Amino acid sequence: MLSRRKFILSLLPLGVAGCTTHDAFRIAESVARGSSLEGAITSRAKSKATGWVTNPQSLAYDLKRLNSFVKKISGRWGEDNAVQPSAKTYVKYIDDYTSRSVVDFESGIVRVETLDRSKLKQSIVVTLLSPEDPVNIDLLSADPIPLGEEPFLYKQALDFDNKAVRWEWRANRFADQLISRGVQQSKAKLKDGQQVIEYFVEFPLGAGHTLTRKYRYAEYVEKYARQYRLNPSLVYAIIETESHFNPFAVSWVPAYGLMQIVPKTAGRDAYELIHGRQGTPSSGYLFNPENNIRMGCAYLHILQTRYLVNVRDSLSKEYCVIAAYNGGAGNVLRSFSKDRDQAFKEINRRSPSQVWQQLRQRMPTESQRYLVKVAEAKKRYT
């Protein structure tokens, strides 16, 4: 049986079809607190009564996909080796969950693994040629990935001639070269005590892979930064810090896409500003790069002009907005005073450097680190 922590993690990388990541996380969260899986599912089913009662088949389908995914990845690879996607790491299983691609955008390392050595070459080719559009890739399934469109890793994955891999002939040649230079092996233990052997190769992305992804989304950043009166360098810095420009990014919150939008908080605020009506964006909507950047910029605008509008100094406001993007405007204000009006007074009587220090001392630890990371990243885009 999966440990509670691993059970939570195993439910996160869901596709846009079937059970949503949010549903799965809430079920997993209940299990982690000690509820039975059946009880947690029942509770979540009640909260989704409208959708599941009017379409009871969807509940059965959701649970079937969830159970199948959890069992297969842990059964194939072992509980301690069931690698999951995260905000900065793309993970995709294929071949009935016996092969997987792991792209760590922070370290710039690609690892292609398989339990069947004869599938390694094709797994490398699929990794190199998987399409860019996240909507076409369901992270929960192991279905074949349709190739032919511009690859997700185009101009990031370079072969030994330092050429971008775009077409199948070059991908096949690069795969042959990687394999000829040595296939590595590691062992993993399954639940029944048996061991499986993993065959894998690793290769680095090109030195400028982060900038390559940045340029891919520059049109949207510039467009919506201008629309919402933001400094583009701030938007780039937040995207780098949140996802390293990974449009497939998903995290436990749950948050989705390049700017890691949380649907029920920032997503709702941004949706209302953009569309003029209340609504909650779906994961599929947020996996679209343009939608995601538009929503992230809209939310930054909301922080500047609504929640933190009374901060007078522009640099102090920027520090507060960065911290609020991660930890919430409420936590920013409480870092200065429990009283909202008094908090603004405390911020405005301080210099920007003093505001920075207060946020670094009083915000939750994660937000303190986030503030530093974004500020440092922003320098690279100025």
- 138-147, 186-195, 322-331, 333-342: least confident range: 138-147
Q: For the residues of 17-37, what is the DSSP string, one character each?
A: SSS-HHHHHHHHHHHHTT--H
Residue among 231, 199, 245 nearest 105 (CA): 245
Q: What are the helix and strand counts (H, E) for the chain?
A: 18, 7
Q: What's the rounded Cα separation, in Å, for the pair 20 and 201? A: 32
pLDDT tens, residue by residue, 15-67: 433 344 444 444 444 444 444 444 444 444 444 433 444 344 544 554 566 56
Report yes or no: 165 and 154 within 8 Å, Cβ to Cβ: yes
pLDDT tens, residue by residue, 251-268: 877 899 999 999 989 999
Distances (CA, A) of 234 to 38, 105, 231, 313: 45, 20, 5, 17
Please report the pLDDT score of residue 253 as a whole number: 75
With 0.85 as the threshold, say if the pTM is over it: no
**Rounded average pLDDT over 210-239:** 97
Look at residue 80 and tell me whether its pLDDT is greater than 70.
yes
Domains of the chain: 4-73 (no CATH), 89-204 (no CATH), 211-380 (1.10.530.10)
How many CB atoms within 10 Å of residue 9? 18
